[in-house]
């Protein structure tokens, strides 16, 4: 099977040769630190790492595979506004200025926002959410349409539908959004409807090309370690109708795998997303709240598709624990509807040797002993030699000693 066939078979619980082998990606700092642990110096980004490590494809590339954009167009100019030594003041694409560390970045501190009231919304944001703006579509449109339509294409293509509330949360801030839901609900409704109109308009143009798309991605990040940042009542009233507009459009064009990226504790919102036609959760952060893809499958059955769900903290621990978790998740991987990988981008406290060990386990347990793709050969048939072979041969003795202790 090729990558596209395997992805679609997995997401529809159909027979397949093996599970897809992929990951969400890596912190920039992870790749920097891994270069001191054996990763080649020329591996500079997630796409390069996915190719070098022999994965089927990278999720970053899948998410951005159409080149069509549902967000602000044009984006605000990005860049460093002020250098503070160990920190910088940085303006993001969404107009938010943050203070962030130069290395080992965590969640940045917000310094200022462009969006503060209705006037700034109408001046700086609403005009940037016009679905007809040519800036949100790729320059090589005709060439891409040919690829989208190609029936024999061997790699999956994913639409990107943007965000209904997560972007707005970033633009105005968590506190202000929480107050606006009570103090100016009509303005929140207007913002949500505007971003939804933009998403529907962009998707309509892309879908009407007759392209064959394999999934659609949404981003929210509207949950934290204790639950959602918006009450389920407000969520159902404010967001579900617009999710349904998007998923109904997708379903009319044959796209029935709609996956949503939301960190944090998502338990209260999963049934509402399912009701709205969003049927795949990602990256299934385990967190301190103890999320578990096996429990989710028991609760929702095959109605819920999943990606991620391998606790990042375990990847930083012993190989014994990594192997135990890989074996625990194997029956769920084999059942289908679940692609297992790190429950967020791989952080820099995960040793490179641990990650290579994890990949070799994934290859053996979930990949039916397939040879991982050779370096730099994404979307081509796997060859006999895995890029992990040297590591596994040199490290096999030490690994076996630890696992048998």
Q: Where are the domains of the chain?
A: 1-64+300-405, 77-113, 117-282
CA distance 78 to 206: 27
* Residue 352 contacts residue 34 (beta carbons within 8 Å): yes
pLDDT of the residue at 252: 98
> From residue 332, how far is each of 19, 293, 309, 328, 336 by CA, in Å?
11, 8, 11, 8, 7
pLDDT of the residue at 101: 87
Burial environment of residue 351 by CB neighbours within 10 A (0 to 12, 13 to 18, 19 or more): middle
HSE toward the beta carbon, residue 164, CA cutoff 13 A: 27
pLDDT of the residue at 91: 95
Nearest-Å Rg of the Cα atoms of the chain is 21
pLDDT of the residue at 376: 44
- Asked if omega into 283 is within 30° of 0 (cis), the reply is yes
CATH of domain 117-282: 3.20.20.210
Instruction: Encode the chain in three state secondary structure.
Output: CCHHHHHHHHHCCCCCCCCCCCCCCECHHHHHHHHCCCCCCCCCCHHHHHHHCCCCCCHHHHHCCCCCCCCCCCCCCCEEEEECCCEEEEECCCCCEEEEECCCCCCCEEEECCCCCHHHHHHHHHHHHCCCCHHHCCCCHHHHHHHHHCCCCCCCCEEEEECCCHHHHHHHCHHHHHHHHHHCHHHHHHHHHHHHHHHHHHHHHHHCCCCCCCEEEEECCCEECCEECCCHHHHHHHCHHHHHHHHHHHHHCCCCCEEEECCCCCCCCHHHHHHCCCCEEECCCCCCCCCCHHHHHHHHHHHCEEEEEECHHHHCCCHHHHHHHHHHHHHHHHHCCEEEEECCCECCCCCHHHHHHHHHHHHHHHCCCCCCCCCCCCCCCCCCCCCCHHHHHHHHHHHHHHHCC
- Six token digits for residue 273: 């997303």
For the chain, residues with pLDDT lower than 70 are 104-106, 372-405
pLDDT of the residue at 373: 66
pTM of the shown model = 0.90
pLDDT of the residue at 61: 87
CA distance 44 to 39: 10
DSSP β-ladder status, 258-261 and 223-224: unpaired
């Amino acid at each position: 099977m090729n990558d596209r066939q395997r992805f679609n078979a997995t997401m529809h619980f159909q027979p397949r040769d093996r599970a897809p082998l992929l990951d969400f990606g890596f912190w920039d700092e992870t790749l920097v630190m891994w270069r001191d642990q054996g990763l080649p110096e020329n591996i500079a980004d997630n796409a390069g790492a996915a190719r070098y490590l022999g994965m089927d494809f990278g999720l970053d590339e899948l998410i951005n595979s159409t080149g069509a954009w549902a967000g602000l167009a044009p984006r605000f100019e990005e860049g460093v506004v002020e250098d503070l030594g160990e920190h910088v003041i940085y303006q993001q694409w969404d107009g938010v200025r943050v203070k962030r560390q130069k290395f080992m970045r965590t969640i940045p501190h917000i310094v200022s926002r462009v969006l503060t009231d209705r006037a700034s919304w109408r001046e700086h944001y609403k005009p940037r959410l016009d679905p007809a703006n040519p800036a949100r579509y790729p320059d090589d449109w005709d060439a891409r349409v040919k690829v989208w339509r190609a029936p024999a294409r061997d790699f999956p293509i994913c639409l990107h539908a943007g965000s209904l509330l997560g972007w707005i949360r970033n633009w105005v801030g968590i506190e202000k959004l929480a107050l606006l839901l009570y103090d100016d609900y009509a303005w929140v409704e207007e913002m949500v409807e505007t971003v939804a109109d933009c998403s529907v308009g962009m998707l309509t143009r892309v879908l009407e090309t007759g392209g064959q798309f394999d999934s659609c991605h949404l981003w929210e990040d509207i949950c934290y370690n204790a639950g959602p940042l918006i009450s389920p009542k407000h969520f159902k009233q404010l967001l579900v109708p617009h999710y349904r507009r998007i998923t109904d459009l997708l379903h009319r064009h044959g796209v029935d795998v709609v996956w949503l990226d939301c960190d944090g504790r998502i338990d209260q919102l999963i049934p509402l997303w399912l009701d709205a036609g969003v049927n795949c959760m990602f990256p299934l952060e385990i967190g301190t709240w103890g999320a578990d893809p096996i429990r989710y499958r028991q609760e929702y059955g095959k109605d819920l598709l999943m990606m991620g769900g391998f606790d990042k903290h375990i990847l930083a621990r012993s190989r014994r624990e990594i192997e135990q978790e890989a074996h625990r998740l194997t029956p769920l991987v084999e059942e289908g509807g679940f692609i297992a990988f790190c429950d967020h981008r791989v952080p820099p406290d995960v040793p490179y040797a641990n990650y290579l060990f994890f990949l070799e386990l994934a290859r053996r347990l979930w990949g039916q002993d397939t040879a991982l793709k050779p370096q730099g050969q994404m979307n081509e048939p796997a060859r006999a030699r895995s890029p992990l072979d040297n590591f596994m041969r040199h490290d096999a003795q030490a690994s076996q000693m630890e696992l048998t202790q």
